[in-house]
Structure 1
Amino acid sequence: MTHTTRRTFVLGALALPFASLSTRALAQAGFPDRPLRIIVPLAPGGSADAVCRLLSNGLSQVLGQTVVVENKPGAGGITGLSEVARAKPDGYTLGYSLAGALTVAPHIATRMPYQMSDLTPVSQVVAVPEIIVVNPKLGVNTLQELIAYARANPGKVNFGSAGNATIPHLGGELFKRTAKIDIVHIPYRGSGPALNDLLAGQVQMMVSDITLVRSHIEAGRLIGLAVAGPARVSELPKVPTTAEAGVPGMVVSNWHGIVGPAGMSPALLQTLHGAIRKAIAMPEIKQRLEKEGADAVASSSAEFATFLAKESSVWGGLTKELGIKWD
């Protein structure tokens, strides 16, 4: 996604010394008998790309086959996912996507080369809860103090994002509506420039992936007010959730998930789900994810489908209200 959040997701070397695993117990008869490929519809270097490469190493061990990651960015993730939609439903071509490409882009793209029914949900892999952060110069230390300040100073608080229709942008808009405050969106070309201006005080707040701002919170350069997730993050134990801070309707995650072409068999989905669940539970992978504030999920196809429908409803309604469209 050209607007998709770009962030530094420090995972270290991706070639991990995985333990030898029994592989064929998970696989249905004959699958896999050749390498798999996972298309990431984003440019190299972002968190989705890094986590997908980390996961692919684990899947290679579990399935006993090479898993190749291919980056095919463009059109908000539509370019890469359209190739997945056209592939055979045999499990050898999958897509690894951020939330926006699956639950935002379909609502705002004026020309879609495929429908969401052309894709099969395979598994949500991780959840990356967003966090509301402010520059210390603003003089607020809690979420309620931020809300009170914004109400007393309508239109004076600016929030930055990686660009229009990114999850951090929509998260900020959701916060604005949930808390009933008047704050102003400032879009940037990527999360890096937005973060730089937040640190410099050019914008006062962000709804950000935890992975992007955790080190700045720990160093005191930013103040974390609330985690927009169901639970506190172990790496930032003193930061409350939005529900604990009095805004229970503010829940936002820039999650990652795997999809495949329509028509994948239940047996194949079960095999892939089992492989993903086993790979994501490897201590080396789990510890790397937890260190960065990402939660391993590894949901089933049915669970992911239900989750996608709920997320799509939330973001579809909000983008319609905001009048966002991509030509």
Structure 2
Amino acid sequence: MYNDLPKITDWSIDGRRRYLKEYIVYVELIIYESLETFDEQKLSLVFGKQDDAKDNIIKMFLSETFNFAKIPSGIPHDINLFSQIAYWCKFKTGKTISVKTNDTNYSTNFIEESGSDYNQDADINLLAHCLSLYNCMVAQDMVGFWFKSNDKFLNEISYTPLNGKKAPNIKSKGSPTKETKYKADASFRYLCVFLNLEYKVTDFSYYQNKYLVKGKNKPQYVADRYETHFTKQEVRKSIKEIICFFHKIHSEGVNTLAKILLKSVGRKSLLDLYEMRSDPDYEILKNKLRDLKSSLKKGESNVIG
């Protein structure tokens, strides 16, 4: 998506302003996506809140002290410049920030990693079958967000169009922050279908009846039904069990396809969307989601008491 955008050719202050005016939605989106994978502690030390980081990066790009000629080699000279959070940290502090980031490149040379006996047609058929089921369970925008969340991987295996169906256009476009959350949410819901959690997670029906029953095609993209306080608590409990299940199978080892799909749900913004920030196990759940984006050694896990 980002590589299709024009390169930054006018690096004057006015030129940078014009570029932001035209592509601000994409700039904010790539910043938010990159912040999701950056070391939280170091990010807070330099910028404070995530929204403050986004605003600061844009201000630094527009500042008089920003000098295109001084951008280090290896740093992109296009919109991907905004994904270089370590660079912007150094720009702000004058110091190199040692960081640990999580791998979010879901393509990961999938075919090579899968081995010589890899059957691409079988995986495409499986993805297509589950997508057909998923399409019957969720609003159209959720299908569109799933395609956007997995576009790198899908392009690598020539997955689009899928059985003659192209990714649907998303009608309810919100802020970049909201879009990032809905992309993770769409991947989370799809993975529940792909792994057939109905028979593997206790009380999965609470989650299923809210998030995998088609409702109106508008945020929050959930089933049209009255929800009691008790039901809300049970839904959140079910979400915790699903996250723990994902973490368990990831730590035990899964095939390459499942590993890539698990990576796509590894965003802490999911917990905000599911209103779980006040949950006593929030930090543990956040770490479990983060682990899905990394190569976790067997037996290494976080335990919810």
Shorter-normalised TM-score: what interval?
A: under 0.3
TM-score of the superposed pair, with normalisation by structure 2: 0.24
TM-score of the superposed pair, with normalisation by structure 1: 0.23
Structure with greater strand percent: 1
